[in-house]
Structure 1
Amino acid sequence: MKYFFASDIHGSAFYTKKILEKYKENAADKLILLGDLLYHGPRNDLPKDYSPKEVFALLNAFKDDIIAVRGNCDSEVDQMVLEFPMQSDYCVGIFNDIYFFITHGHIYSEDGLPKLSKGSAFIYGHVHLPIAKNVDGIYILNPGSASLPKENNPNSYAILDNDIFSIYDFDGNVLKEIKLEKNI
C-alpha cells in the first residue's frame, strides 16, 4: 500500500491543490494530514493563496481518503467545516507492517517521544523541516511543510511506498529517503 503524508498547509489553496495533484498522480491509498490545515497562525506569514474556505472545500472532496490529526493552529471551528475527523492529538496505525505514531508535533515531539518499541515510526509535522532518520531503532519522520518550509528547505510532502519513506519537493525531487525495516 502507498500512503501520502502532508503537513502544515496553513490555509494555502495553492499548496492544497499541489498536494491533491501529487496525491492523485501517485495513486496513493490514503492521504495523511499532520495538522495545521486551515489557519496560518500568528507567528507565520500568510502562505501563497491564503484561502481557508477554498482549502476546506478542496480537502472535503477527499474526505473518504483522509486521516488527519490536530495541529496547534487547528480549532474546533475548523472541525465544523471539515467533513473528516481532525481533532485528535494523535493516532496510531500499522502501515506496511510498521507501527506508526502519527501526530502534529506540538505535544509529542522528537525530544518528547511517546513510548515506542524499536522498529516503530514516529511521524509528525510542526517544525516545517523534512526529516527521515533512525534514532536508537525508532524512525523519526517529517514530510516538511507543504506551504511554509523553514531553513531554506523547499515546500514538501512524503510518500511511504511499501518500506521506503521518501520526502519530495513539488518538482518531484527526492529530498530525503529511508528504508523502514520492522526488525531492526
Structure 2
Amino acid sequence: MKYMFASDIHGSLYYCRKMLDAFQQENAQRLVLLGDLLYHGPRNDLPKEYAPKEVIALLNQNKNRIYAVRGNCEAEVDQMVLEFPVMADYCILSIDGRTFYATHGHTYNQDHLPPLQDNDILIHGHTHVLKAEQMDGYILLNPGSVSIPKEGNPPTYAVLEDNCFTIKDFDGNTVREMRLP
C-alpha cells in the first residue's frame, strides 16, 4: 500500500491543489495530513492564494482517503466544516510491520518524544523543515511544508512505498529519500 504524507497547507488553495494533484499522480491509497490545514497562524505570512473555504471543499471531496491529525492552528470550528476527523493529537499507523506515530509536532517532536519503542517512526510536520533521519532508537520523518517551507526548502510532500520514504517537490523531483531499515 502506498501512503502520501503532507503537512502545513495553511489554507493555500494553490498548494492544496498541487498536493491533491500529486496525490492523484502518485496513485497513493491514503493521504496522511499532519495538521495546520486551514489557517496560516500569527507567525506566518499569508500563503499563496489563501482561501480556506475552497481548501475545505477540496479536502472534503477526498474525505474517505484522508487520515488527519490536529495541528496547532486547528480549532473545533474546523471539525464543523471538515467531513473527516481532524481533532486527534496523533494517530498510530501500522505499516508493513512498522509503527508510525503520526502527529503535528507542536507537542510531540524530537525534543519531547511520545512513547516509542526501538525502531518506531515519529513522523510530524509543524517545523516546515523536511527530515528523514535515523535517530538514537527511532526514525524521525518530516515531509516538510506544502505551502510555507522554511530553511530554503521547496514546498514538499512525501510518499511511503516498499519501505522507502521519499520527499518530493511538486515538480516530481526527489528532494530526500530514506530506505527504512
Show the 5 A alignment for 1:1-184: 1-181=1-181
| Alignment RMSD (CA, Å) | 0.7
Write the deviation string for residues 104-136 of structure 1: whole angstroms up to 9, x where unpaired: 001101111112111211000000001001102
Q: Give, in whole Å, the separation in 1 of the partners of 2:96 and 2:26.
A: 17
Q: Distance in 1 between matches of 2:34 and 2:124?
A: 6
The CA deviation string for residues 62-90 of structure 1, in whole angstroms up to 9 with x for no partner, is: 00000000000011011100000010100
| Structure 2: distance between partners of 1:154 and 1:174 | 11
Q: How many residues align?
A: 181
Closer/same/farther in 2, CA of residues 7 and 39 from structure 1, 3 Å limit: same
What is the aligned-residue identity percentage?
56
Q: Does the residue aligned with 2:21 lie in a helix, a strand or coil? A: helix
- SS of the aligned residue for 1:171 comes to coil
Distance 2:75 2:141 in 1: 24
C-alpha distance in structure 1 between counterparts of 2:160 and 2:137, whole Å: 18
Amino acid of the structure 2 residue aligned with 1:138: Y
Distance across 2 between alignment mates of 1:109 and 1:27: 29
- The unaligned stretches of length 5 or more in structure 1 are none
Q: Kindly provide the CA deviation profile for residues 129-151 of structure 1, in whole angstroms up to 9, marking residues without a partner as x.
A: 01001102311000000000001
Q: Distance in 2 between matches of 1:154 and 1:71?
A: 21
Distance 2:51 2:162 in 1: 34
What is the alpha-carbon distance in structure 1 between the residues aligned to residue 79 and residue 162 of structure 2? 31
5+ residue gaps, structure 2, are none
Distance in 1, Cα, partners of 2:143 & 2:170: 12
TM score, norm. by length of structure 2: 0.98
State the distance in 2 between where 1:162 and 1:75 align.
Answer: 35
CA–CA separation in structure 2 for the residues paired with 1:116 and 1:179: 20
SS at match of 1:64: helix
Q: Distance in 1 between matches of 2:30 and 2:57?
A: 18
* DSSP-derived class of the 2:63 partner: coil
* Letter in structure 2 aligned against 1:143: P
Runs of at least 4 residues off by over 6 Å: none
SS at match of 2:150: coil
